[in-house]
Structure 1
Amino acid sequence: MIEMVIEQRRRSLGGGLDVGRVLPFAKRRMVGPFVFFDHMGPLDVAAGAPRELDVRPHPHIGLSTVTYLFSGEIMHRDSVGSEQVVRPQEVNWMTAGSGITHSERFEKARAVGDHLHGIQAWVALPTEYEETAPAFSHHAGADLPQWSEAGVHGQLIAGSAYGLTAGARTHSPLFYAHLDLDAGAFAEVPAGRRERAVYIATGEIEVDGQRHGAGHMLVLDAHTSQLRACERSTVMVLGGEPLGERYLYWNFVSSSKERLEQAAQDWRAGRMKLPDADHDEFIPLPEEPPAQPPAMS
């Protein structure tokens, strides 16, 4: 049974870059530890695009971010010294913990043009790990197990599912996978987690006799275990154990409102280190905290 259907809401990140915001949603703030979910693009960018398209340095606390692309290229730089391009079907996994800053630049797009399409997600950290040391890891190849069977072509992005385990270090039990489905193919939704969802990036699928198209997240009950592709489709399946209430303030996530205020003061006062290779500009703290974070992860 489908407990809820969440339709993406279009949001502008500036510079011509729009995203489909899925989580947080007013009636469903999280799915397991997943507290933020943006569908980026698809967007064709011509060579010579302005720098305003980039996501300038900005801060995070209390979460891990995961960048996953279907197409295009993004350059990541952060305050722990990482400088890493992420390409399709690779993963940049960044744990903010006690605090990190980073930028995301579309350098290839500006140079030669690009077709940008992907997912940005935030995974809240358990309370005991909210102040862990910040870290970054890049994953490709064997770190992201793949399989292909009966018209389902899958890749595990993070966590454990389908008898496989991905390489990124996660701090709570979860799964996150990318499935490409041929028309008519059936796919299993991993069981064993209290909260689960399916996001349709392209195409149309059927669950429990109901059809749903691209841009929709289906939050599932504990019993629904299968979906069918009505046409060639790309879906993300995700889930995990609930962590308890989390508060969001701009790009910060915490179980404590006081910690959010401290993070805001630190950013406003310039106490959070910028990336060494990208410190000439940054996104200032909004004067009024928005209801939902404006920046990508």
Structure 2
Amino acid sequence: MSTSPLEAAEVELVLAARSSDLGGGLQVLRALPQARRRMVGPFVFLDQMGPVDFAAGRAADVRMHPHIGLSTVTYLFAGEGVHKDTVGSVQRILPGDVNWMTAGRGIAHSEHITHATGAPGGRLYGIQIWVALPKAHEEVAPAFVHHAAATLPEFGEGGARIRLVAGSLFGERSPVKTHSELFYADVALEPGAVLGLPTEHEERAVYVVEGALELSTGTLPPGHMAVFQRGAEVCLRASEGARVLLLGGAPLDGPRHIWWNFVSSSQERIEQAKEDWLAQRFGRIEGATDFIPLPGSPPPPVSYP
């Protein structure tokens, strides 16, 4: 495989997000995981949803499905969603809000995505990220928390407007509780802005949502992630403006197995999760009548009661 010209100096690796069809008209760009890089800090999954415009009367529904061993983080730029899960949560999410669901030993959830008025149709645009849990917390009780956009730190730095979604960065800390040291920020860069990325976190990456970044070794276009060398001085430049995500943190305490929606340090634990989903032992969502079957299994004879 050829090496990108960006993969030099402060840049360890460049990853191009790959398109994936989730069904129901929803296309995503998947930056993590990839064969060349499975994780950055505790982040093991990053999907960019849209932007996609739904016709009037249409919406994106993600049927009930399970997770173990991770936290899912939903963050929207445009659109609106309703989250439901097996611990009883029913939560509306708007652009700039954070839905942080910790699966721990097991949870199932569903998502109904519409546009900002709550009616079907309109634009969907956002990010879904998974954060793997440290081994000591992989089997914690499942939980869900919501943080409104107004509760998150927002500040300026070097021509950038930074909303700190989770963790700590630039001397600020998000109120979102995490199980490991990390950072996750939504950054809008003005034309000509220059932003230095602190070295306080061991593993660091940037994902370009809109516009482009000028790094010391070339241009990073939309839908691409740059993973930086540990301890390297990193300077992000946006000659024409950009919107990017900054993320990273401490390395995980060992490798993780990822299969479908399950993440674990133990392959045996993933096998158990498969059996549990086949037997519908993840609990119920009130009013849910359908679910996503385990990949490779026969379709269920009836809908989930």
Q: TM-score by structure 2 length?
A: 0.90
The aligned amino acid for 1:268 is: L
Aligned to 1:252: 262
| Pair 1:168-2:176 in alignment | yes
**Cα distance between partner residues in 2 of 1:190 and 1:79:** 39
| Pair 1:285-2:294 in alignment | yes
Unaligned runs of at least 5 residues, structure 2? 1-9, 298-305
Aligned to 1:96: 103
Cα deviation, residue 279, structure 1: 2.0
**1:173-224 CA distance string (max 9 Å, x none):** 1000000011110112232222110000000111123111100000001213
**Cα distance between partner residues in 1 of 2:181 and 2:107:** 23
Local SS of the residue matching 1:218: strand
Correspondence 1:188-227 to 2 at 5 A:
188-222=196-230, 223-227=232-236
Aligned counterpart for 2:85 among listed residues 63, 78, 90: 78
Local SS of the residue matching 2:269: helix
Local SS of the residue matching 1:5: strand
Aligned to 1:292: none
Tell me which structure has the larger Cα radius of gyration: 2
**Cα distance between partner residues in 1 of 2:38 and 2:102:** 20
Aligned to 1:6: 15
The aligned amino acid for 2:250 is: E
Q: TM-score by structure 1 length?
A: 0.93
**Cα distance between partner residues in 2 of 1:24 and 1:97:** 20
| Pair 1:139-2:147 in alignment | yes
Aligned length: 285
Unaligned runs of at least 5 residues, structure 1? 289-297
> Does structure 2 conserve the Cα–Cα contact (< 8 Å) formed by 1:48 and 1:111?
yes
Cα deviation, residue 149, structure 1: 4.1
Correspondence 1:175-190 to 2 at 5 A:
175-190=183-198
The aligned amino acid for 1:198 is: V
Local SS of the residue matching 2:144: strand
| Pair 1:17-2:36 in alignment | no
**Cα distance between partner residues in 2 of 1:270 and 1:36:** 25
> Does structure 2 conserve the Cα–Cα contact (< 8 Å) formed by 1:196 and 1:237?
yes
Cα deviation, residue 150, structure 1: 4.2
Aligned to 2:301: none
> Does structure 1 conserve the Cα–Cα contact (< 8 Å) formed by 2:57 and 2:119?
yes
Cα deviation, residue 111, structure 1: 2.7
Aligned counterpart for 1:30 among listed residues 26, 39, 48: 39
Aligned counterpart for 1:230 among listed residues 239, 250, 258: 239
Correspondence 1:52-131 to 2 at 5 A:
53-108=60-115, 111-131=119-139
**Cα distance between partner residues in 2 of 1:77 and 1:188:** 39
Aligned to 2:280: 270
Give the stretch that moved more between structures: 197-206 or 278-287. Answer: 278-287
